[in-house]
Amino acid sequence: MNALTSMMLLPLLGSLLVAVIPTDQVLRIKQAALGTTLLVAISGVMAWIKFDSENTAFQFVQIAQWIPSFGINYAVGVDGLSIVLILMSVLLAPIVVLAGWNESEGGRWSAKVFYILILVLETMMIGVFAATDVFLFYVFFEAMLIPVYFLIGGYGSGERAAAAVKFLLYSLFGGLLMLASIIGLYVISGANGGHTFDIGQLSEMHKYMSSTTQNLLFLGFFIAFAIKAPLWPLHTWLPDAAASATPGTSVLLLGILDKVGTFGMIRFCLALFPDASKTFTPVIMVLAVISILYGAFLAIGARDIKRLIAYTSISHFGFITMGIFAMTTQGHSGATLYMFNHGFSTAALFLVAGWMISRRGSSTIADFGGLQRVTPVMAWSFFIAGMSSLALPGLSSFVSEFLVLVGTYTRYPVAAIIATFGIVLAALYILIPVQKVLHGPTTPGNENLPDLNLREKIAIGPVIAVIIALGFYPAPLLNVINPASAHVLEMQGFTDPVPSESAGK
């Protein structure tokens, strides 16, 4: 069986296994879910090992007729961009299950429903990155909303129902715009060689579009992806969702699902509408820079630790979007690497923050203090995660942020210079809460907080290890990402700017 199809089927089979386990046998349900995600992770690593980084074509391809009367196929495949994001997804899934071992307790429904939702969502995450049929991508893109909606609304806290509805409405609005653009592409393909949803064939359709048509279809895709990313000013659903969701759900939401937005910008916006991408690039660069600074300012003023992490992600996605639309190989490679690194740094922040909140009974930053003395392992985990979010040299995010800024500067120096102020602001929004949470006198009520237990150490250990390892040696990822990034730009007619010194010779 095809490697990608097997990866997608395993979580579904795991959800069926969980479904037949009696509801009162919670431990067995958790063990089945964890075992399933570990098997998927192993299959993802095996696919990564077999992947040929020198081959820029789609690999592990499988195409089967699905709705032949409309030219819709079950078509999957991966290139250097999607294999990296699938690897991130399958590695984070078992970590989320293990770290949030007790997150299903106190929810509206049973633990069985919670883990079925997690496993079904994992299938959708793999599928959305692997789909090479645009209609199949749309199905996965929309289907992801269902388990996330129930995970936030059923197992979250605070205003969880309102946050879940807001998330759903924003995402559905974007999805409808994208569907309109997909229908438009389908009609155009029918007039130029036959109806199809194949991304390879659709990437040739821009030759037959007027600039107005291409711009409108581009906006349908881009707005949907900008909501998912999230990019200012379409970001307002994120802080509420992150604050209300369980820590594990927040990791899946910000660490993985939001990457579908930036992934879609590369896979669909640039590939299907290269001319429109060039037309809208100046506007998008402005939005990206605003996101970087706006998210940073919101993070500095945040009083809730989960909202702070959400605001930092708005800033980080600004960097990713800026790298994508810089239209340089360094910017693209940096943006893709940033997606992977952000997934792990955000996972570390949300998981440790979740453990802190569960121990203290509060998510207010002011209620923490002096944790370094009381819970040193948890404190150091939070510190390393925070420094990675800050893009400290020696940790994974530094390499990707550096590549994004250098790649942007070669074409849009003003945008890169302004965005650099985001690094200065990052020092404030990370170091201030680190100082308040970890150092200083121990806040009353924190004296007897327990440190991380063995399960929690096992969960956070691999995340911290990845953050440190990729900070010193990012080559395993960049060796796969760089050829794919160069190929994307080459296929769409983008070239790196020629340095002025070379141009003068």
* 3-state DSSP helix/strand/coil % of the chain, to nearest 5: 75, 5, 20
Cα(292)–Cα(69) distance, integer angstroms: 45
Tell me if 290 sits within 8 A of 298, measured CB to CB: no
Confidence at 90, pLDDT banded by 50, 70, 90: very high
Confidence at 375, pLDDT banded by 50, 70, 90: confident
DSSP letters, 132-144, are: -BHHHHHHHHHHT
Among residues 312, 290, 283, 289, which one has the least CA distance to residue 299?
312
Tell me if 230 sits within 8 A of 317, measured CB to CB: yes
What global pTM score does this model have? 0.89
Q: What is the pLDDT of residue 501?
A: 52
Buried-exposed string 360-386: b where 16+ CB fall within 10 A, e elsewhere: beebebebbbbbbebbeebbbbbbbbb
Confidence at 290, pLDDT banded by 50, 70, 90: very high
Buried-exposed string 283-297: b where 16+ CB fall within 10 A, e elsewhere: ebbebbbbbbbbbbb
Contacts of 46 by beta carbon, 8 Å cutoff, 6+ apart: 3
Q: What is the pLDDT of residue 500?
A: 56
Which segment, 201-215, 282-296, 347-361, is predicted with the most confidence on average? 282-296
How many CA within 13 A on the CB side of residue 187? 9
Q: Which residue has the higher pLDDT, 234 or 78?
A: 78
Among residues 226, 225, 229, which one has the least CA distance to residue 313?
229
Q: What is the pLDDT of residue 86?
A: 92
What does the pLDDT look like over 249-262, one tens digit per residue?
Answer: 888 888 888 888 89
Q: What is the dihedral of CA 323, 461, 115, 3, to 10 degrees?
A: 60
Cα(489)–Cα(272) distance, integer angstroms: 12
pLDDT surpasses 60 at 505? no
Q: What is the dihedral of CA 303, 307, 309, 311, to 10 degrees?
A: -100
Cα(6)–Cα(20) distance, integer angstroms: 21
Cα–Cα distance list, 493 to 70, 213, 236, 275, 296 (Å): 31, 20, 35, 9, 34
Tell me if 282 sits within 8 A of 322, measured CB to CB: no
The overall average pLDDT reported for the chain is: 86
Cα(303)–Cα(479) distance, integer angstroms: 40
Interval 263-270 mean pLDDT: 89
pLDDT surpasses 50 at 503? no
Tell me if 3 sits within 8 A of 51, measured CB to CB: no
Among residues 58, 4, 10, which one has the least CA distance to residue 33?
10
Helix axes 454-472, 376-389, angle to 10 degrees: 30
Among residues 278, 299, 505, which one has the least CA distance to residue 411?
278
What does the pLDDT look like over 477-500, one tens digit per residue?
Answer: 888 888 888 888 887 777 777 665
Q: What is the pLDDT of residue 502?
A: 43
Q: What is the pLDDT of residue 389?
A: 83
Cα(346)–Cα(377) distance, integer angstroms: 18
pLDDT surpasses 50 at 504? no
Cα(167)–Cα(198) distance, integer angstroms: 29
What does the pLDDT look like over 92-137, one tens digit per residue?
Answer: 999 989 888 887 777 788 888 889 999 999 999 999 999 988 899 9
Secondary structure (3-state) at 390: coil
Cα–Cα distance list, 470 to 44, 351, 395, 462, 465 (Å): 18, 20, 7, 12, 8
Backbone angles phi, psi at 78, to 5 degrees: -135, 145
Interval 347-369 mean pLDDT: 84
Contacts of 233 by beta carbon, 8 Å cutoff, 6+ apart: 287
Q: What is the dihedral of CA 457, 355, 97, 313, to 10 degrees?
A: -110
